[in-house]
Structure 1
Amino acid sequence: MQNAIKNVKALGSPLLDEAHGITYAFCTRHGGVSGGLYCSLNCGFGSSDDPANVRYNRALALAQLGSSRAKLVTCRQAHTANVEFVTRPWTNAHTPVADSMVTNCPNLALAVLTADCAPVLLADPVSKIIGAVHAGWRGAIAGVIDKTLMLMSEKGADISSIIAAIGPCIRQASYEVDTEFKNRFVKNDSINERFFFGGKGIGRHHFDLSAYVRYQLERGGVEHISQLDGDTFADDDKFFSYRRSVLNGEDNYGRGISMIALGQLDDP
């Protein structure tokens, strides 16, 4: 296990790096044990990968946080605006349908799975409240960011102290959509026009998911935001991508994992 842990490649945020008492990781697809379409750090039980491989991959990913006490917590993601406050790990039978989690409990590693959607990790290092959001376009337009910030505030976070990191997701150059998709956003708020540019052909557009997520964070009062580089669709060596799998005619795809936890690294 120790040698395998070193092979996992995780990306970092300068802002979160400076947050005392916060551990986190945006994992790439490198360093796991899965093969084929899931090569190699596939962390999604919703895939058709061998569950034993997924379980081992999750353990490898969790080890990136540097704490043997951390317990991984995930939701049943369904592109909703549902947000859960987590006080302890739940059993598989009681895993809620949600796309965001908030906690103030040490050593609970809040984790979201993505394969083009934007993982967003949030932390108020002063009040010791953290959040993890799976921000696909459906959840984002439905208000999952706003609801997460609201719950963090209700639990004692100061919005102006919150640090947000938007992880790798599908970038605008790769995210072509139709006019119906664009109109859904513009009808919701005319300002959303700015998150689109014209694509090739009539009725084709490109959507900037990461900029839309950043706008929602800023609108909610978050001042400290970092956006990680990387296009999950274009960079198949580093990231899993649902859209790329469809384009390639593949019948399934892997899921990347992003995590955040409260608590110091293991101490003697």
Structure 2
Amino acid sequence: MIAGTATDVPLLKWSIFDGHGVHAAVTTRNGGVSSGRYESLNLGLHVDDDPEAVRVNRERVAKAFGATADDLVFARQVHGAEVATVTSCDQVIEADAMITTEPGPVLVIMVADCVPLVLFDPVRRVAAAVHAGWPGTVAGISTATVQELQAGGSDPADLLVGIGPSISPDRYQVGADVEAKARQRFGDRAHEVIRPDGTGKWLFDLWRANIIQLTEAGVRPEAIELAALDTGPGTPFFSHRSQGPTGRFAALVQLSPQDQSEEDPR
């Protein structure tokens, strides 16, 4: 990912979306007004931060992104595999993935270790934002999102995907309950995503797990850009596991307005 913003709020961007008529970025924990555990750009209203500070932070992010705070669409993320369609900026969403074909809404997924993903179909001009923690990953949230896009007319081979900062495979320790669910989900490929760490527990590779789901659903491997950036101490990202209670950073995506008569990009 590369940094790029004209404001005091740093935004990281995936190069894979360049020139395709979509605006996607990831915030860091820097550039806001929150303090203490939530210093400084916390975007979550559900983590006991000062709501006024969060409001200011959201306004700052919207401005850096080239939008307004009223354009931001947040989901109540439930760690499942529900996918919601967003048609306006004032919807109340309860899902872990959002899809839109409208150029107005800015889809916002908040994380602090979990995997944020942005998907874009440059042919149909549809975007999606996905929250994939371990429960959503073993529930198949990435698969469900691609299938929902496909049901709407997308060819998975046309999709471009950005995977944002999240807890690294070498640091995400889980217990036997999660290990069993990962094995059940990934079957013969479980060895690619889960491995013993020598302490009686396991390391879960959420990056690889979601890439497997995406490619098995038909996304081309070369169309996936992995940030490969860890969260937590020493990084510019919040980490609930290392620092909780703490704030939330976000992945954002918005379709750019486009003349509907423009030729098919293929």
- Alignment partner of 1:171 is 2:164: no
Q: Measure the CA separation in 2 of the matches of 1:158 and 1:59.
A: 35
Residue identity (%)? 33
How far does residue 61 in structure 1 lie from its aligned partner after superposition? 1.3
For residues 10-49 of structure 1, the aligned pairs below 5 Å read 10-19=11-20, 21-49=21-49
How far does residue 234 in structure 1 lie from its aligned partner after superposition? 4.3
How far does residue 65 in structure 1 lie from its aligned partner after superposition? 2.5
1:249 corresponding residue in structure 2: none
SS for the counterpart of 1:101 is strand
Q: TM-score by structure 1 length?
A: 0.88
For residues 100-179 of structure 1, the aligned pairs below 5 Å read 100-179=97-176
Q: Measure the CA separation in 1 of the matches of 2:174 and 2:96.
A: 23
Q: Measure the CA separation in 1 of the matches of 2:102 and 2:206.
A: 30
Letter in 2 for 1:7: D
Letter in 2 for 1:258: A
Q: Measure the CA separation in 2 of the matches of 1:24 and 1:168.
A: 14
Letter in 2 for 1:239: F
How far does residue 85 in structure 1 lie from its aligned partner after superposition? 0.5
Q: Any unmatched runs of 5+ in structure 2?
A: 259-266
Q: Any unmatched runs of 5+ in structure 1?
A: 247-251
Over 3 Å counting, the alpha-carbon distance change for 1:238 and 1:69 in structure 2 is closer
Q: TM-score by structure 2 length?
A: 0.89
Question: Are 1:5 and 1:60, in contact at CA under 8 Å, matched by a contact in 2?
Answer: no
Misfit runs of 4+, over 3 Å: 67-70
Letter in 2 for 1:196: I
How far does residue 154 in structure 1 lie from its aligned partner after superposition? 2.2
Question: Are 1:185 and 1:193, in contact at CA under 8 Å, matched by a contact in 2?
Answer: no
How far does residue 68 in structure 1 lie from its aligned partner after superposition? 5.0
How far does residue 264 in structure 1 lie from its aligned partner after superposition? 4.6
Question: Are 1:171 and 1:233, in contact at CA under 8 Å, matched by a contact in 2?
Answer: no
Q: Measure the CA separation in 2 of the matches of 1:119 and 1:36.
A: 24
Alpha carbon RMSD of aligned pairs, Å? 1.9
Describe the superposition over 1:1-24 as per-residue Cα deviations: whole angstroms up to 9, x where unpaired.
xxx9711111111101232x1011
Over 3 Å counting, the alpha-carbon distance change for 1:80 and 1:254 in structure 2 is same
Describe the superposition over 1:150-196 as per-residue Cα deviations: whole angstroms up to 9, x where unpaired.
22122232211110000000001111112232122112332222212
2:10 corresponding residue in structure 1: 9
1:258 corresponding residue in structure 2: 251
For residues 170-209 of structure 1, the aligned pairs below 5 Å read 170-190=167-187, 191-201=189-199, 203-209=200-206
Q: Measure the CA separation in 2 of the matches of 1:61 and 1:187.
A: 39
Letter in 2 for 1:243: R
SS for the counterpart of 2:170 is helix
Describe the superposition over 1:194-242 as per-residue Cα deviations: whole angstroms up to 9, x where unpaired.
21222132x211111111111111111111100003111343x400011
Q: Measure the CA separation in 2 of the matches of 1:24 and 1:175.
A: 26
Q: Measure the CA separation in 2 of the matches of 1:125 and 1:63.
A: 25
Moved more, 154-163 or 113-122: 154-163
SS for the counterpart of 2:24 is strand
